[in-house]
Amino acid sequence: MTRKRMTVIPRELMIADVAMKMDNYLAEIATSHPTKLHLFYESGVIKTSGNRIHGSSPVGEPASEVQRYASNANFTINLLHSLDAVDFYNILDGPSNGMELILFFDEALQLERQNGSAVLERGDCVIMDNYGSHHAHFFEPVLEDMLAQYVLKLIFQPPYSPDFNTCENCFHIIKAFLSVATSYWRSSKPRLQLPMVSWELLNNRHAQCSITLDMFSQKL
């Protein structure tokens, strides 16, 4: 026996109905070839993560400093990911919504690979997480109809199962990079430094994708 960090399993996974949905999901995607599956996920990155977490102060006194930036603004990264590569992504300056997602998929449906084949081909499956907003009346039916025109299928992950989405591995790499790049923000003066993310292909244990983080300055 060795001591390890505990993994907390949601109690809801023990409910029979949730377990059945998970079994149905696994059975459904098992009927498709792995190269036909495209997973979508979105994640927020706080613009102001450059505020220092640690500092120095005399013994017995707390370490503090005036907040450099307000921390209520964020970027949203929308990512479409498959076995071969990052299929498509965009970065929103602020939160996402149903209209932004519709525009995201409208653009993704027009994309072609270098060999001329479509990124989303006939018979492919788009897999989304089970967020409540993705089931909204103004979003889910519209997206289903849009994908159906290209003979694509929309599948939702079972509840409480974010670990089934490989996009989580990409976001982990991005946020890990951001967490060690604090010196970039500390060197900023009056301008807010905004991180922009660009993607290239890279072999990864979980998926072939690469993530290169570039920093650009932009005035508010």
Confidence of residue 55 (pLDDT cuts 50, 70, 90): confident
* Parent domain of 161: 38-47+73-175
Judge whether 165 lies within some domain. yes
Structure pTM?
A: 0.69
Report residue 145 CA to chain centroid gap. Answer: 24
What CA–CA distance (Å, rounded) separates 68 from 188? 10
The predicted pLDDT at position 121 comes to 93
Regarding predicted confidence, which is higher, 38 or 94?
38
- Over residues 128-156, the mean pLDDT reads 90
- The per-residue pLDDT for range 205-214, each reduced to its tens digit, is 333 334 333 3
Residue 146: CATH number of its domain = 3.30.420.10
In the predicted structure, residue 71 carries a pLDDT above the cut 80: no
Q: Cα dist. 174→111, 178, 214 in Å?
A: 24, 6, 11
Judge whether 109 lies within some domain. yes
In the predicted structure, residue 201 carries a pLDDT above the cut 70: no
What percent of the chain lies above the pLDDT cut of 70?
A: 71
Instruction: Point out which residues pair with 214 in neighbouring strands.
Output: 196
Judge whether 9 lies within some domain. no
Q: Cα dist. 50→46, 68, 188, 218 in Å?
A: 9, 8, 10, 15
Regarding predicted confidence, which is higher, 199 or 187?
187
Judge whether 19 lies within some domain. no
Judge whether 117 lies within some domain. yes
Judge whether 203 lies within some domain. no
3-state SS, the chain, equals: CCCCCCCCCCHHHHCHHHHHHHHHHHHHHCCCCHHHEEEEEEEEEECCCCCCCCCCCCCCCCCCCCCCCCCCCEEEEEEEEECCCEEEEEEEECCCCHHHHHHHHHHHCCCECCCCCECCCCCCEEEECCCHHHHCCCCHHHHHHHHHCCCCEEEECCCCCHHHCCHHHHHHHHHHHHHCCHHHHHCCCCCEEEEEEEEECCCCCCCCCEEEEEEEEECC
Mean pLDDT of all residues in the chain?
A: 75
In the predicted structure, residue 7 carries a pLDDT above the cut 60: yes
Tell me how many domains the chain contains.
Answer: 1
Judge whether 127 lies within some domain. yes
Strand 192-200 and strand 210-218: the pairing is antiparallel
Contact status, residue 170 vs residue 79, Cβ threshold 8 Å:
yes
Judge whether 4 lies within some domain. no
- The per-residue pLDDT for range 98-136, each reduced to its tens digit, is 899 999 999 999 999 888 889 999 999 999 988 888 888
With tokens 């949730």, the residue in question is: 18
